[in-house]
Chain A
Amino acid sequence: MFFGLPWTAWLLIAIAILPSLAIVLRFYSLHHEEGAWTEEAE
């Protein structure tokens, strides 16, 4: 048990979140273009 939860439960929570977070951060760092957040619509 770790913080009241079995380690297998923590493993499931980690698998649910960490790989996707790593993928989307990698994707963002490779393809994000400067100004994309702030550029106004025509």
Chain B
Amino acid sequence: MTFSNPIILTVLLVYLALLLVIGVWASKDSGDVAGYFVAGKKLPAWVIAFSSNATGESAWLLLGLTGMGYLVGIHAFWVVLGEVLGITIAWTFIARRFKEYTDRYDSITVSDFFEDRFRDRAQTIRKVASVIILSMVAVYMAAQLTAAGKAFNSFLGLNYVTGVLLGTAVVLFYTTVGGFKAVAYSDLIQGIMMFASLVLLPIVGIAAAGGWTTMMATLQAEDPTLLMPMGSLGITTAGVISAISFGAVGLAFLGVPQLLVRFISARGVDQIPSGGLIAVISVMIFDSGAVLGGMAGRALFPGLEDSETILPTMAHELFPALFTGIFLVVVLAAIMSTADSLLILASSAVVRDVVQKIYRPNTAESKLSFYAKATTILLGGAAMLGALTEARLIFWFVLFAWSGLGSAFVPPVLCSLFWKRTTREGIIAGMIAGFVVTVTWVLAFKSMTYDLYEMIPGVGVGLVTIIVVSLFTQPPEEAVVREFELVDDELGPALSPKKAGGSPGATGRPTATV
């Protein structure tokens, strides 16, 4: 494959042009802070569902998970289990409550929610959250742009640096011009393309391998552990830890800010049930398709030096040039749909959380919107420099940033939504503890514990810290407890019918100001 292949190049140019058109189309709604960061809270279920899946599943899904299916076979279904369960719990148990609170508070960011939920007048939660978001997003974003450079290089033979520059320029254009609306609608298109590719890849791969049973027989002959749920490690300590670590990748879906902000941007709580149905079914197909595609690739092309090149190899060997171009676009789509959301998240942490809420509350909306766009460009530029200079280990950085954000935010989100005794001090301590444990685990303990994934100790310590610190600090003020009970009463249980006749006035909003 070279840059001179006109069919691949045409598909790529059409896709890039489409993104630019979306940016311009969405630009009329990006003139104020709420418009730029949450699309004015007007998005329908199918947009937030595909947008959250496309954001959560970066290039890691297409290159990393297919590579995992290639390398370990059925054992990779532990990742599918973790991700599907994580997304299911997020949409059924967390989304409605979170949306209800954020509508009451008129929140735009996750920090807005925490600050109002705990009446954090000193704004400490906002400050801690902003530091964590900015540090992790920088790592995550640089990894995505690195992946863009590699994708252009491996599919088109384009120079790595040019690939990074081109990827950065396109993402920055439509994100800056169109704001969250452009990000969400481009995510929708990108998500649909990822969906179609991950349906097509295993079907074509399995057919090329001679059908399902022939493919399984080929894999069985090559390495029988490819068909065993516990893989080559079997039921040993290392095998069990490997399975749990694979499954734990899904924990972050319960609270990373770039996904929670999708719930904030929904048109209303009524969008959550249909959004959940779309999100859960599509992630089942995303993940199962990636693993089965990788397994088919193993039967067809055994002995690849780098298992994460199986998708480009299959795209090149099994499909005509038009589809090779489409697969390049799909890999770029997975990268861009994550990168654009990270940019919006990081610029909201700077402009909304720091400038508007801490330093200059009276700044005009138009000025804030300008700051937001300028910050997006600056952050994108900084990540681009990181991608050009740092060590190019894509998936290590992605999983590290994913677990850093997950460990810092999942325990506070769970406790603030489901435990009324949670205190402001507990949230601050738990957020810091979860984050610090994750980083420390990677640096000092991971290699000693059969590579136990850092999010498990991170989330565990974060939860225990919140519970212990909350129990040893002054209980939340009465208004906070009453508000918790009202929301609880209004929404009712997630999986059983709501009792008739909730408390009068339960729907009253807004209730909190700081």
Contacts and interface: CB of A to CB of B under 8 A. Distances in A.
Nearest to A34: B270
B291 to A, nearest CB: 9
B495 A27 contact: yes
Interface in A6-38: 6, 8-9, 11-13, 15-17, 19-21, 23-28, 30-33, 36-37
8 contacts: A16-B81, A17-B84, A24-B91, A24-B276, A24-B281, A28-B274, A31-B96, A32-B273
Nearest to B73: A9
Given A6-B228, A12-B74, A26-B495, A31 B81 contact: no
Q: Is the interface of B mostly helix, strand, loop or mixed?
A: helix
Contact of A28 (B42, B78, B276): B276
A4 B494 contact: no
Interface stretch (B5-13, B211-219, B334-342, B471-479): B211-219
Interface in B459-514: 494-497
Contacts of B271: 36
Interface of B: 42-45, 74, 77-78, 80-81, 84-85, 87-88, 91-92, 96, 212-213, 215-217, 220, 227-229, 267, 270-274, 276-277, 280-281, 284, 288, 494-497
B284 A4 contact: no
B181 to A, nearest CB: 10
A9 B229 contact: yes
A20 to B, nearest CB: 4
Contact of B288 (A17, A37, A42): A17
B77 A13 contact: yes
A32 B179 CA distance: 29
A30 to B, nearest CB: 6
B352 to A, nearest CB: 22
Given A6-B227, A12-B78, 7 more contacts: A4-B215, A4-B216, A28-B273, A30-B496, A36-B45, A37-B45, A39-B267
A21 B80 CA distance: 13
A24 B495 CA distance: 9
B277 A24 contact: yes
Contacts of A9: 74, 77, 227-229
